[in-house]
Amino acid sequence: MTDAVRTPITQALQDGAISRRELKALMQRSNLPAFRHLAIWIILLVVTGTGIALTMGTIWVVPAMFIHGVVLVHHFSLQHECCHYTVFRTRWLNDAVGWICGLIINVPHQHFRYEHCDHHTYTQLNGQDPELIPLPKTVWSYLKYISAIPYVFGQMRALILHASGRIDESEVHFLPKDVQPIVFLEARLMLGFYVALLIACIATGWTGPLWFWLVPYLMGEPVMRAIRMTEHVGRPNVDDLRENTRSNLVSKPFQFLCWNMNYHAEHHYASSVPFHALPRLHKKLDGYIFVEPRGYLGAHRDIVAQLLGKKPRSDAKQAL
C-alpha cells in the first residue's frame, strides 16, 4: 500500500494545488464555529419539535414528525465529527457531545470511534472496512437497506450483545481486548437508560418520547441510510481514495444538517480538517476528488444504474 494511494492529498501538495501552510491553517480547530452551528441546530430542533406539538391530533403531524426525524438522525453527522475530535478544540467536549448524539440515535460513541478508525484505514475494502455498504444486487435489496429496518434491528441487537459482555466475530479486528470493557459499560449505560425511560413512560402514561423521539427517529432513519449510501456505495472496492469515495454537491440546508459531510472525499483526504473548513478544502482539491454534482439524488441514480447492470460514472471532475 503506497503513501500516494492512502494519502492522495500528497499529490495535491506536490502539484501546488494546496500548500502545507494552507493545509495546516485549515486544520486549526475552533470552538466558535461549532457553538454557532450547534446553537442554530438546537433552535431548529425546537422549531421542528414545536411543529409536532402544534399539529398533534391532525394529519399534519405525520410530515411534522418526518421533518423532525430528519433533523434527529443527522445527530449522526455531529457525532461523526466529534469522533474525529474536530468539532471543538477541547477533547472532553467532543466526547461529551458525541456521547449525547449517540444516545439519541442508538450509536454507542466509543464503539463507533474504533469502528470508524478502521473505516478510514481500510476504506471500501471488502472484508476489512467494517462500515462498508455493498452495492445492492437487486432493487429489492436496495429498498430494503434504505427502509432502515435491518439497520435499526441490527443496532439494537449489537447494543444488547455488548451489554451482555460479548462482541460479534466481525468486531474482533477493530475492538482491542483492553477497550472492550469500555464498550460493554457504554452499552449497559445506554440500554439501562432506554429501559428506565420505557418503564417511566409506562408507569406515568407519558408519551412524549414516543411522539417527539422514537417515531420521528424511525421515520427519519431511511433518509440517513440513503445519505450514507452516497458516500461510498457504487464506487470501486479499491485502495485509492481518489476512486472509492464520493463527494456530493448538495443544497445549503442539507449541507448544514450534515455538518459539511457531503464533502466526504475531502474529509477522507484530510480527516483532521474540521467541518467548517471542508468547503475551503473542497475548492483547493478541484480535480483531485470524485464529485457528484447532481447531489444525493444523482448519486442514487448512479447506484441504481449500476445494480441494473450499467457502468458507473467515471467523471471525477469537480463542478464548482
Residue range 215-258, pLDDT digits in tens: 999 999 999 999 999 999 999 999 888 899 999 999 999 999 99
Average pLDDT over residues 5-10: 58
CB distance 266 to 247 below 8 Å: yes
Residue with cell 471500501: 124
CB distance 142 to 136 below 8 Å: yes
Residue 6, pLDDT > 60, answer: no
pLDDT value at residue 314: 65
Q: How far is CA 68 from CA 41, 100, 183, 287, in A?
A: 12, 17, 29, 37
pLDDT value at residue 286: 84
Residue range 13-61, pLDDT digits in tens: 777 788 889 999 999 999 999 999 999 999 999 999 999 999 999 999 9
Average pLDDT over residues 111-121: 96
By CB atoms closer than 10 A (0-12, 13-18, 19+), residue 52 is buried
Beta strands in the chain (DSSP E): 247-248, 291-292
CB distance 27 to 304 below 8 Å: no
Q: What is the dihedral of CA 159, 80, 234, 294, to 10 degrees?
A: 140
DSSP letter (8 states) at residue 107:
-
pTM value is 0.93
Q: How far is CA 93 from CA 80, 84, 85, 101, 160, in A?
A: 14, 12, 9, 12, 27
Residue range 59-104, pLDDT digits in tens: 999 999 999 999 999 999 999 999 999 999 999 999 999 999 999 9
pLDDT value at residue 241: 85
Lowest mean pLDDT among 88-92, 115-119, 223-227, 282-286: 282-286
As beta bridge partners, residue 291 has 247
